[in-house]
């Protein structure tokens, strides 16, 4: 919101996936210029690095709890960030990866503060799918790209188009809703694999992917058939990439209306 009469403000940024390497220049400026920095980062190395940029950094990791519902944790984060802004601080909230992807508190607190008349915005960051596209050599514009959170895909009867590439997020924590999630059990993951087999042949090759979090390591890339997924170890941060199994079909009626020569797609 421009020309806000309130002193406090909020800028939400993402660290990207790799420590320090993925932070954008505008995010770096926002961190350095903040009166208060509230960070949700999982490792101490990142936290100490942030402290070198701004001494007024506070961690929000303490809101997580092993048996605590994730929504309760998120609400505490929202309240803490909003309170900082309402108290007049130029606040920067930091989240891992892209701050708008799988980060419920960032969207909720921006909406809350904007409704109260405060300046609140989000800056883009590098996300896991951006790393996946680079590491696997995938162009999402070539065949299109479907994107689903695995539990959402199962619970809400989402449909898949096998001619379109697909990214399945959080395949290692299916139906886990605690703040400190553990890897999904074999039964839940088996339900997920069974559902995929309704759309793809069992020998279709997919990729389990984990983006490298530090520059000295490589990303984890495991190619396996869908049927063999059952026997493959999946971590809490695994993302599943499913390439197209079928060729895309041309709508000749539309092509004629657009005067497109379909021979170029042969």
Please give the Cα distance from 266 to 258 (Å, whole number). Answer: 17
Is residue 155 within 8 Å of 231, Cβ to Cβ?
no
Quick one: which of 208, 197, 196 has its CA closest to 232?
A: 208
Please give the Cα distance from 153 to 64 (Å, whole number). Answer: 25
Catalytic residue among 89, 96, 118, 200: 96
Residue 212 bridge partners (DSSP)? none
CA 1 to chain centre: 25
Quick one: which of 125, 115, 113 has its CA closest to 9?
A: 113
Catalytic residue among 70, 188, 199, 230: 70
Residue 220 bridge partners (DSSP)? 210
Please give the Cα distance from 211 to 209 (Å, whole number). Answer: 7
Residues 108, 112, 113: CA angle, nearest 5 degrees: 120
Please give the Cα distance from 213 to 46 (Å, whole number). Answer: 10
Residues 75, 90, 35: CA angle, nearest 5 degrees: 105
- Annotation says 70 is catalytic: yes
- Annotation says 96 is catalytic: yes
The residue written with tokens 């896991």 in the block is 128
- Annotation says 264 is catalytic: no
Catalytic residue among 74, 148, 200, 209: 74
**Residues acting as catalytic residues:** 70, 74, 96
């Amino acid at each position: 919101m421009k020309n806000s009469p309130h002193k406090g403000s909020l800028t939400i940024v993402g660290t990207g996936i790799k420590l320090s390497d993925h932070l954008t220049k505008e995010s770096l400026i926002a961190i350095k210029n903040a009166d208060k920095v509230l960070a949700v980062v999982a490792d101490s190395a990142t936290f100490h690095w942030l402290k070198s940029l701004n001494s007024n950094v506070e961690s929000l990791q303490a809101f997580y709890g092993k048996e605590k519902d994730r929504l309760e944790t998120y609400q505490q984060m929202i309240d803490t960030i909003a309170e900082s802004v309402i108290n007049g601080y130029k606040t920067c909230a930091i989240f891992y990866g892209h701050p708008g992807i799988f980060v419920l508190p960032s969207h909720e607190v921006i909406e809350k503060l904007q409704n109260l008349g405060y300046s609140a915005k989000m800056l883009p960051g590098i996300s896991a799918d951006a790393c996946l596209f680079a590491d696997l050599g995938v162009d999402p514009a070539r065949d299109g790209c479907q994107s689903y959170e695995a539990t959402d895909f199962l619970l809400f009867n989402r449909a898949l188009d096998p001619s379109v590439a697909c990214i399945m997020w959080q395949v290692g924590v299916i139906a886990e809703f605690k703040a400190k999630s553990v890897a999904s059990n074999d039964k839940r993951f088996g339900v997920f694999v069974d559902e995929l087999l309704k759309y793809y042949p069992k020998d279709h090759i997919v990729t389990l992917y984990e983006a490298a979090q530090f520059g000295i390591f490589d990303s984890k890339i495991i190619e396996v058939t869908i049927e063999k997924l059952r026997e493959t170890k999946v971590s809490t941060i695994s993302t599943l990439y499913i390439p197209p199994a079928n060729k895309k079909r041309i709508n000749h009626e539309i092509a004629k209306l657009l005067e497109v020569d379909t021979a170029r797609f042969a």
